[in-house]
Amino acid sequence: MNGIPRAPKVLDALIPLAFLIILLVFNIRVFGTDGLSGSNQIVLILSAAVAALVAVFKLGYTWETLQDGIVKSISSAMSSILILFLIGALAGTWLISGIVPAMIYYGLQVLSPVIFLLAACFISAIVSVATGSSWTTVATVGVALLGIGKALGFEEGIIAGAIISGAYFGDKMSPLSDTTNLAPAMAGTDLFTHIRYMAKTTTPSILITLIIFLIIGFNYETDGGVDDVKTISAVIQNNFNITPWLFIVPVVVLVMIVKKVPALPALLTGSLLGGVFALIFQPEIIMSIAGESGNYLYLGFKSVMMALYGDIAIVTENDVVNELLTTGGMAGMLNTIWLIICAMIFGGIMEESGMLKVLAESIIKNVHRVGSLIASTAATCIFFNITTSDQYLAILVPGRMYADVYRKRGLKPENLSRTLEDSATVTSVLVPWNTCGATQASVLGVATLVYAPYCFFNIISPFMTILYGYLNLGIRYIEPEEELV
């Protein structure tokens, strides 16, 4: 075991993968949507242990080498973990300041049940294009839209599906998005060529999605009527000081992100401003959370700190409103962060030992036509989303693997960059243990498997790019004069 490790065979790589899949299926049957509370994390740890046993005893890797791979894998997810903490903090202060309640209140005045799902998808798309971040979109306007939809009587799974569909469309098409910059960099093309070319598959996908949500809206029988909406609006107005001035905070955050301020300082600013606005506009809420009387500055500091780090629940006389006015702060993100770390442990061992690479290469060997090449690329990206639990790795590794293959087949690099985005970026949120799936489930409070069937854009996108490949639609080939350059 102290010599040079041998290259894994496909069967070696399939052992931990099969163990993971079988145990996850059984785990989901036992725990259902409660898997995020700990059982999914244990499954990933056990699968990582199986992968480590194969790597050490069959392939000759040392534990120190595998541990370095684990550390590298977790390090790649560290920015996501820090963002998660700040999203939890932002949710807390935006609740006690009245920002999210104000979004729900005003949204109920203008959105009708018939157009709500379409509007939720469209609004999320616009905000995500402007910010370049699906995570920020879901954590801000997404949370408010979820509250509005629940008040109108929609099931939370379909609301979350509409929000996520729009948010990931915007994330794909925004030049500010990190994945939209990463995909062309891996494929070897430029950003705006990539976006223009991606629009060919993304536009029909989002149009189909919007039509589906409009049809559902016309036929959906909601529990919430006009009287219910009026009651919820009145309860929110009675418990919060609702004013348009509260929207200064989200506008500041959106402007910072559009100006390319990194996500961490932008979210921290939004969290702290939320605390300040709570002190200014919601003194009764501050007193209620503190649970004692005394100096207002002392009570305000205590309440804001509690909102930043822990559970907050604003209790009203209406049970529906009470469900909307709860948050877990930073502590509420710990289960999600635990899941991400466990997933990155498994992915780190699988990548460091070469087992992921050999599985992907076995797919490439059987690719002969353009359609099957694009289909295999999409399948590989989805496979890496499942096994490495990170959308960036699902773009990076297949991007490196397929770049030379596309070039040798006479295909321009934008064919690859588009396929990477149409499959890796959008399907990451459909995997419960992926950083994206775990995050959105935690932020919205809706289990991944509950909202996934309604993420129509995310489901349609990989099929759309595969269809274009087999029909030879919008496929760009390298011209003879370009081969000479």
Q: For 158-207, what is each residue's pLDDT tens digit?
A: 999 999 999 999 888 887 677 887 788 777 788 778 888 899 999 999 99
How much is the pTM? 0.72
CA distance linking residue 201 with residue 236, whole number of Å: 42
CA distance linking residue 419 with residue 399, whole number of Å: 10
The answer on pLDDT for 101 being more than 70 is: yes
Long-range contacts: 312-315, Cβ < 8 Å, 24+?
312/92, 312/95, 312/96, 314/95, 314/96, 314/239, 314/285, 314/288
- What is the predicted pLDDT for the residue at 301? 94
- What is the predicted pLDDT for the residue at 135? 83
In this prediction, residue 235 has a pLDDT band, given cuts at 50, 70 and 90, of confident
The answer on pLDDT for 396 being more than 90 is: no
Residue ranges of domains in the chain: 10-76+336-483, 79-332
Reported as a single tens digit per residue, the pLDDT across 200-227 is 999 999 999 999 999 999 888 766 555 6
Task: Using DSSP, state whether 327 is helix, strand or coil.
Answer: strand
The residue among 278 and 484 whose pLDDT is bigger is 278
The answer on pLDDT for 464 being more than 70 is: yes
CA distance linking residue 218 with residue 375, whole number of Å: 35
Q: Which residues, in sequence order, are CB contacts of 200 under 8 Å at separation 6+?
A: 418, 468, 473, 474
Task: Find the mean pLDDT for residues 360-377.
Answer: 82
- Most confident of the following: 14-18, 174-178, 291-295: 14-18
Selection from 434, 426, 366, 348 nearest residue 171 by Cα:
426
Give percent of the chain above pLDDT 90: 34
- Number of Cβ within 10 Å of residue 192's Cβ equals 10
The answer on pLDDT for 287 being more than 80 is: yes
- What is the predicted pLDDT for the residue at 435? 81
- What is the predicted pLDDT for the residue at 484? 46
CA distance linking residue 134 with residue 172, whole number of Å: 9
Selection from 408, 417, 380, 400 nearest residue 477 by Cα:
408
